[in-house]
């Protein structure tokens, strides 16, 4: 009987706490007003609430004194550290999303697995951010080791799927196979006289002549990067597609500006099983990326292509 009473008493206390965590209106010290507030989570530095318009996080130092005393003593230094950790987590999530998108783009080009490409991209990014070496995956990497890691990663990322060309069946002597071109006729799509013959896989060799190359920047006019891109495009005749990684190295202005942080998210309805309690906005910070737009000539024809920062521009 005592056990039952104890359980009932504990349940009553829990209900009392839940009731005390509901506020018709909550005004923060920075001037924000929330209505139909319910406290969902409490930490040493902040509270997480659900309100009429969604969810919000409020630091203890931003709560009115009469509300703050219920949840603990405000510690501005600890709050600042928690905010830094949150930003670092958002940046890490954005980086992983960008790396996965790039890996998905490269799967068809390279014929390699998603896991292999993601590891190569992560290795490349670390090497580019640490030119003097450092600690990577728990191991100390010297500058020489860093160069070796970068070379291995780029070898994976620059690999291209080998096209398999099946030999046609050998026709009977004097016979014209179905769909074949009779002797003396010009087959459709034939290489013009004097042009280089197609290599294996149907690629027709030629030269790339840049007409223009512009690199977009957030809220600014696109920058002319033709000269810098031209140094990455092979001169003379090419016998296979050329892949160029698009980065801010194409523009000093882009390097000086850095990438802007953009919030992306999705609305999620939150219910208690019977009624909708609110709408949560799941927000992830990701780096805004620039766009390269290129116009060029190849074998007498004009082309225009675009590639976003972090992806590959494939020519022709």
Q: Could you tell me the residue range of the domain that residue 61 belongs to?
A: 20-74
Residue 219 included in any domain: yes
* pLDDT, tens digit only, all 316 positions of the chain: 444 444 334 333 333 334 358 999 999 999 999 999 999 999 889 999 999 989 999 999 999 998 998 888 888 888 888 888 888 888 888 888 999 999 998 888 888 899 999 999 999 999 999 999 999 989 999 999 999 999 999 989 988 875 544 445 555 555 555 555 555 444 544 444 444 555 545 678 888 999 999 988 766 778 899 988 888 888 888 888 888 888 888 887 777 666 554 444 544 444 445 444 454 454 444 456 788 899 999 988 899 998 888 888 888 8
What's the number of domains the chain is made of? 3
User: Are 135 and 60 part of one and the same domain?
Assistant: no
* Number of helices and strands in the chain (H, E): 7, 14
Are 306 and 293 within 8 A, CB to CB?
A: yes
Q: Assess if residue 186 is contained within a domain.
A: no
Which pLDDT value is given to residue 204? Answer: 84
- Mark which of 136, 158, 180 sits at the end of a domain: 158
User: Based on the domain organization, do 122 and 151 belong to the same domain?
Assistant: yes
Distance separating alpha carbons of residues 89 and 142, to the nearest angstrom: 27
The per-residue pLDDT for 241 is 87
Q: What is the pLDDT of residue 63?
A: 94
Segment 190-232, tens digit of pLDDT:
444 444 555 545 678 888 999 999 988 766 778 899 988 888 8
**Tell me, what's the pLDDT at 162?**
59
Q: Count other Cβ atoms within 10 Å, centred on residue 227.
A: 9
120 and 213 co-located in one domain: no
118 in the same domain as 52 = no
Closest to 265 (Cα-Cα) out of 97, 16, 18 = 97
Residue with tokens 């040493």: 44
In a domain, 12, yes or no: no
Q: Are residues 135 and 106 in the same domain?
A: yes
Whether residues 222 and 296 fall in one domain: yes
Same domain for 69 and 147? no
Residue 28 within any structural domain of the chain: yes
165: exposed, middle or buried (Cβ count in 10 Å: 0-12, 13-18, 19+): exposed
pTM of the model: 0.38
Assess whether 56 and 106 both reside in one domain.
no
For residue 271, tell me if it sits in a domain.
no
The answer to the question of residue 116 being in a domain is yes
With residue 280 as reference, give the H or E element that holds it: strand 276-287
| Residues 229, 306 within the same domain | yes
Task: Give a yes or no: residue 141 inside a domain.
Answer: yes
DSSP assignments along 79-122, one per residue:
HHHHHHHHHHHHHHHHHHHHHHHHHHHHHHHH---HHHHHHHHH
Question: Does residue 14 fall inside a structural domain?
Answer: no
């Amino acid at each position: 009987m005592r056990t039952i009473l104890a359980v009932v008493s504990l349940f009553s206390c829990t209900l009392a706490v839940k009731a005390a965590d509901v506020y018709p209106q909550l005004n923060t010290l920075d001037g924000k007003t929330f209505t139909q507030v319910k406290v969902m989570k409490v930490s040493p530095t902040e509270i997480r609430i659900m309100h009429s318009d969604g969810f919000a996080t409020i630091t203890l130092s931003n709560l009115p004194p009469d509300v703050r005393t219920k949840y603990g003593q405000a510690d501005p230094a600890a709050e600042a550290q928690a905010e830094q950790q949150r930003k670092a987590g958002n940046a890490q999530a954005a980086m992983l999303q960008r790396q996965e998108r790039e890996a998905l783009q490269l799967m068809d080009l390279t014929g390699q697995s998603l896991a292999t490409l993601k590891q190569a991209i992560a290795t490349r990014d670390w090497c580019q951010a640490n030119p003097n070496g450092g600690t990577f995956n728990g191991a100390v990497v010297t500058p020489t080791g860093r160069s070796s890691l970068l070379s291995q990663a780029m070898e994976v990322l620059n690999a291209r799927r080998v096209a398999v060309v099946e030999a046609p069946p050998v026709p009977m002597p004097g016979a014209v196979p179905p769909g074949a071109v009779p002797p003396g006729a010009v087959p459709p799509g034939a290489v013009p006289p004097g042009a280089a013959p197609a290599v294996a896989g149907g690629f027709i060799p030629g030269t790339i002549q840049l007409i223009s190359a512009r690199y977009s920047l957030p809220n600014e006019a696109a920058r002319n990067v033709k000269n810098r891109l031209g140094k990455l495009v092979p001169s003379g005749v090419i016998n296979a597609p050329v892949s160029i990684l698009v980065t801010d190295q194409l523009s000093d202005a882009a390097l000086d500006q850095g990438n802007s942080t953009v919030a992306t998210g999705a609305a999620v309805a939150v219910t208690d099983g019977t009624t909708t309690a609110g709408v949560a906005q799941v927000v992830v910070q990701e780096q805004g990326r620039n766009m390269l737009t290129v116009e060029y000539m190849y074998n007498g024809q004009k082309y225009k292509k675009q590639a976003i920062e972090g992806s590959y521009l494939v020519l022709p």
